[in-house]
A and B are shown apart, each in its own frame.
Chain A
Amino acid sequence: MKIRTTIFRHLYIRMAIILLCISLAFSFSLIPVYNDKLSRMLAAQGSTFTNTTIAACGEALYTADYSFVINYTKKVLKETPEVTFVNFISSDGMRLNISQSGWGVETVGKDQTQVKRPSEQPYSLKHYTEIPETGIRDAFLFNKPLVISGLLWGDIEIGISDSEYNSLMLSYFRNVILYSFVLLAISLLILHGVSIKLSSQLSKLRQTASLLSNGDLSARAPTEAIGEISLLATTLNNMAFNLETKTNRVEQLARLVEDTDDAIAIFDKSHQISFINNAFANITGQNIDNYQGMTLQELFQNLDIDKRKQHEIALGFEHVKQLNWSTDITISKLSNPPTHLTLRIERFDSANQEESSFFVVLSDITQRKQLEQELETLAYIDKLTKLPNRRYFMDALTANVKDATLSDTSLAVFFLDLDNFKLINDSLGHEVGDHVLNEAAWKLQDSLRSDDIVCRLGGDEFTVILKNVTETEKLATIADSILASFSTPILCNKRELRITTSIGIVQFPQHGNDEMELIKNADTAMYAAKHSGKNSYRFFTSDMHRDMKYYLELESALRSAIIDSNLEIVYQPFIDIETNRITNCEALLRWNHPQRGLIPPGRFIPIAEQSGLISEVGNWVFTEVCRQIKTWNNGINVSINVSGNELADKTFINRLEKTLVEYDIDPYRIQLEFTEHVLVSKDGSNLPILNALKRAGFAIAIDDFGTGFSSLSYISELPIDTIKIDKTFINKLPYDRRTIAVVNSIISLAKNLDLKTVGEGVEKKEQVDWLQANGCNTIQGYYYHRPMSAHDLQALIKPDNLRLMPTISNQYSKPGK
């Protein structure tokens, strides 16, 4: 039976000792009782013997027949070896001593004739190591009165060997010990049996604790246990969980300390370094061991920190009653350029600052410093073009204006805006746009002097400050140079991009007294250049503000008109010459300005195109037309004019299709009209989208045909359905021979290409007649109808009334669309 746990060994030993002690104590406490019983037994034995002897020898004693007494007694003594002697003590002082070895007679004093016995006891029993006067050792002396026939003869004494008594006592003790050990063994066996389970549970608990102590913090003890062991297991598990959690946390923090880029040095209570992390070595470039035991002062000396800085640190650390303190330091020793660090000192324990330990953290802020410098630099530099930015320009302009004022000199400011840059950015992507901007910046710088300040304001706007240039001609020359520089194409992704710029030019002090006025006027001049056709420059004049103001007002109003639905669409029907029937109509946009009245499309469409509103306008028109077709539900198709700018929008076709789906309109119900120069672009860049529109199901018409310089052969490659002969040709019909020849050619070409022809702006009958006679398919013009509202057109178009009489309406003041 191996006791596996010391606790049970401990328990067993103590149980054994306790049980034995209890057993022995109990047994010893019973000794008097047992002794008393033995004494009573001896007394009984003695009584029996003496009674028997008295019975046998009584008469002989009475008759003094001592020979009988002696013989009998000797015989009896022989048969009862535990009785060692018998003494007959007569009242008159004779003592007859009889033993197995002999007999004798003595005379004793009468005071000895009667043994003093307690009155309540009829006998006396006493143990002697040596019975007096007998030499008998280790025996009991039993004494009782010898009464013969009621008469006291004397006393009879017998000596009873204590061997049996001792044997019984020895047997008692042996039994006590034996039973004690048996009881102990049984108890321990039972305890062991009971403890097996406990031992097993404790063993598991111990194993778990052992695993925990060896670092396996995931170890858990089974909680299905008895009583307090279960509680202990639960407590141990909770402790293990907390320890694991905290250890993981500490490990994470320790790893953080080791892996962090910040150098950490921990100082003990004697203010010497006790721990250095790896980052310290990385930052200082020295072995970690070099720093062990260093004081703060020694560390500073090692890092070659400026003494004034050391003194500052010492003051801050010693005299400032706070938990942490930090400062920035620069160390030149470590590297070139110097290393910038933030030094932070923090105490672990604020309660006793005298004895608390602390730690030092060195954070490399070199990069931050660099970034700060960069930011400071970037604050004045345009990140893309590396040109000075708006902030720099403003500061520079302010400074130069001030200098010019003080020195009574002049300066000029160019305000440049790249033409159609938004179109390039939107159509080709920002990457291309950035490349264009960079190239533009380079072109600009190449075109100017080195001391001219070239800035990028933002977007596609650039400015130039030219000092000490007063002559207008010179400035014009510089502007021409810039324009010439921009005339060379920009190569980007194997694509040639041509970009122009519009330049506004102002001079100080002529065109402004301060920088703000100069900028404003330059901007105005730039816009004037834009409006004049772009790729040009304009010197500021005072009336530019008025035009600019008008333009900006219109632009703003147009935005509002789109939002507030102040735009309106009118419809001008197309008449089939042969059948005189209305086959379709053209949607024309009108804007009725609340203050300015009707603004012709020729005025606000360019503004829309320039301001980038054309997509919104076009989208609004298309949506409105679809809605109207749905409302009419009369089978009339509608033509819509589409700006070339819209083709640059990659979402153009998707928008159209989405709108068609929304209103459940078939694409063939709509004819898209594009001007000749849009369809026949030099690089053919519009051809793919035209084909896509065609595949989508739209009809495509070429508007104002004949006004461009496109090659007729190119027309054959276009996916068009209709050619609309420009009004300028119609006006000259039927009398101008060259016009007649041109128109005939157009009509013939169209027929050969299986295209329809529409005569635009027909106002006279002879024009109708000529067109009819020469094969034109459709007439559009005031001869038949002016543009009308959708309601009027719907009323005009009746299912059984397709034959229309020509009418001329004065609804609109200007002829044409």
Chain B
Amino acid sequence: MINLLLIILLTCLLTASPDLRATDKPSPIKLGGTIGALNDRSITDAEIAFQVIFNELLAEANESFSLKIYKDQNLLFDRFRRGELQGILTGSLHFIELDSLIHDSARYSVQFGDKLKQNYLLLVRHDDNLTSLRQLKEKTLSMGASHQVGKLFLDVELLQQQLPVSDQFFKDIHIVKGANTSIIDLYFGKVDAAVVPKFTFETSQTLNPQIKNKIEVLVSSEPMIHQAVGLRHDFPQHRIDNFEPHILTDQPSKRLINVFETFGIECIHRVTEESFKEVKSLQNRYNKLNGLSQ
């Protein structure tokens, strides 16, 4: 009788929520991310910097993160669904798809540039004298790997002008590692157009003022969130409450500022479902237009 009670108790302890076992330091929060979320940073840099610098920041909260960047997005999503990862860092479209798995109180988006929601821009060279999308038929396009939202925007624009989607419209689409690369390829004439977030275009102009003179915006989207970070819905709230103040603060510490600068982050925002309405609207328009075209 007693033995049975002991076994039951032990099982309860083993199966209890993590916070019951957390009499000592909790296990690191495992995050998985896509390359596109790195904003042109290298995987290694991101992983190491995230774990070293970010975790130093959270040491006070007795929490830590571990980040792994997955080149295979499907593997990423699969592991998240299965709970092997407690958190995910991905583009907005994928984020919306995983909405049900994500904790309502643990949804964040990183602000790159001056605003959280950034416009996507279709850039062309001045010298090409392009005034409409149509002129880009059979041209080459460049865009970053993480910018599905940007592609969605372009597709929607094309569909609205009764043009085929980008995969069919352009002669070749170069998926590059980062938006800045798209701009540079455009600058040097390797491609005819590039889809980049506005802040990237602004940054490149800063880096090379000649870009301003040589590249122009053909089409611009409305501001929207490009990427987001979320924790699984079953992640303990108290832990969220524990580390969140260290990340979401109006007065970031010096260390936090260093971390942001390393990744080019302006700040981190908590986002809600509402934050993604533009992306959802764009998705809906795509679906509607693409359904019509078919």
Contact = CB atoms under 8 A, between A and B. Distances in A.
Interface stretch (A60-68, A292-300, A563-571): A60-68
A70 interface: yes
Given A64-B188, A65-B190, A66-B187, A102 B180 contact: no
Contacts of A66: 184-185, 187-188, 190
Nearest to B189: A64
By size class, the interface of chain B is 20 to 34
A70 B211 CA distance: 14
A122 interface: no
B206 A64 contact: no
A282 B113 CA distance: 124
Contacts of A101: 207
A712 interface: no
A102 B207 contact: yes
Nearest to A66: B188
By CB atoms of chain B within 10 A, which of A68, A102, A104 has the most? A102
B184 A67 contact: yes
B287 interface: no
A71 interface: yes
Contact of A71 (B184, B188, B206, B210): B184
B181 A71 contact: yes
B181 A105 contact: no
A637 to B, nearest CB: 159
A165 to B, nearest CB: 27
Contact of B181 (A64, A67, A103): A67
B214 to A, nearest CB: 9
A70 B184 contact: yes
Interface in B147-199: 176-178, 180-185, 187-190
B249 interface: no
A67 B207 contact: no
Contact of B176 (A67, A103, A105): A67
Interface in A675-693: none
Contacts of A71: 40, 177-178, 180-181, 184
Given A64-B188, A65-B190, A103 B207 contact: yes
Contacts, number: 43
B236 interface: no
A67 B210 contact: no
Interface string A53-97: 000000000001111101100010000000000000000000000
A102 B203 CA distance: 9
Interface string A770-793: 000000000000000000000000
Which of A66, A70, A75, A101 has the most chain B CB within a 10 Å cutoff?
A: A70
A67 B209 contact: no
Q: What's the dominant secondary structure at chain B's contact region?
A: helix
Number of chain A interface residues as a range = 10 to 19
Given A66-B188, A67-B190, A102 B181 contact: no
Interface string B196-236: 00000000001111100000000000000000000000000
A67 B180 contact: yes
Contacts of B210: 104-105
A102 B206 contact: yes
B207 A68 contact: no
A348 to B, nearest CB: 100
Nearest to A97: B208
A64 B207 contact: no
A709 B184 CA distance: 189
A102 B178 CA distance: 16
A68 B181 contact: yes
Chain A CB within 10 A, most for which of B183, B184, B187, B190 = B184
Contacts of A102: 206-209
A217 B206 CA distance: 95
Contacts of A64: 188-190
Interface string B20-51: 00000000000000000000101000000000
A168 B16 CA distance: 62
Chain A CB within 10 A, most for which of B40, B187, B208: B208
Interface in A450-478: none
Contacts of B206: 102
Contacts of B40: 71
Contacts of A75: 42
B240 to A, nearest CB: 34
A104 B188 contact: no
A67 B185 contact: yes
A374 B180 CA distance: 148
Contacts of B184: 66-67, 70-71, 103
Contacts of B209: 102, 104
B190 to A, nearest CB: 7
A23 to B, nearest CB: 46
A417 B274 CA distance: 186
A67 B188 contact: yes
A67 B189 CA distance: 11
A397 B136 CA distance: 186
A104 to B, nearest CB: 5
Contacts of B182: 67
Nearest to B177: A71
Contacts of B178: 71
Please indicate which of the listed interface residues B180, B181, B207 has the most CB atoms of chain A within 10 Å of its own CB: B207
A490 B208 CA distance: 163
B8 to A, nearest CB: 57
Nearest to B183: A67
9 contacts: A65-B185, A66-B185, A66-B188, A67-B176, A67-B183, A67-B188, A70-B184, A71-B181, A101-B207
* 6 tightest Cβ-Cβ pairs between the two chains A and B: A67-B184, A102-B207, A67-B181, A66-B188, A67-B185, A103-B208
Interface of A: 64-68, 70-71, 75, 101-105
Given A68-B181, A75-B42, 16 more contacts: A64-B188, A64-B189, A66-B185, A66-B190, A67-B180, A67-B181, A67-B183, A70-B184, A71-B40, A71-B178, A71-B181, A101-B207, A102-B209, A104-B210, A105-B187, A105-B188
